[in-house]
Amino acid sequence: MSENKIDSIIEKYRGKPGALIHALTEIQHANHWLPREVLHKVADALEVPFSQAMQIASFYKTFSLTPKGRHEVHVCTGMTCHLRGAAKLMEKVQELTGLQPGETDAAAKFTLEAGSCLGSCSIGPELIVDGKHYGRMSPEKAEDVLNRYE
């Protein structure tokens, strides 16, 4: 993401300390992560201590302090999904992306995550890409799903 875009988001919230979470959320959504230097800029512009910005960014799972791919891929590994074949689904997704859970590929296309329960047990095993749920997912279908994302 361009520095100009980040700066324009920060300017929208300048002098509004109560908007810290909103500013961070907007930057996270656009940039896929919150670099330390951006947290410093946000803290200065919103007139909050850097430690407060860092505390918020590190507390909420929504935020990432490390680079993420353009597409976040989650495979549910909860008990119901596990019993329905999540391990084989995860193996296939790992094979297709070349990633282990928690990793981002060199081109920053995908970040792979494993989640213990993603809340859709009735349609497991489940694959979620950028918040879109794909239920009753088989390893064979995973390739078709991932190919939809550039």
DSSP per residue, 62-127: T--SS---SEEEEEE-SHHHHHTTHHHHHHHHHHHHT--TT-B-TTS-EEEEEES--S-GGG-S-E
Q: What's the CATH class of domain 71-146?
A: alpha beta
Confidence band, pLDDT 50/70/90 cuts, at residue 116: confident
pLDDT for 1 beyond 80: no
pLDDT in tens, 44-83: 999 999 999 999 999 998 899 999 999 999 999 999 999 9
Give the predicted TM-score (pTM) of the model. 0.76
33-37, 39-43, 119-123: segment of lowest average pLDDT: 119-123
Per-residue pLDDT band for 129 (boundaries 50, 70, 90) equals very high
Q: Please state the domain extents for the chain.
A: 3-59, 71-146
Q: Which fold has domain 3-59?
A: Arc Repressor Mutant, subunit A (1.10.10)
114 has pLDDT over 80:
yes
Q: How far apart are CA 150 and CA 129, in angstroms?
A: 12
Check residue 60 and report its DSSP letter: S
Question: How much of the chain exceeds pLDDT 90, in percent?
Answer: 89
How far from 128 is each of 12, 15, 57, 61, 150, CA to CA, in Å?
31, 37, 23, 16, 16
Q: Kindly state the DSSP code that residue 14 receives in the 8-state scheme.
A: T
**Above 90 in pLDDT, residue 135?**
yes
What's the CA gap between 55 and 51, in Å, rounded?
6
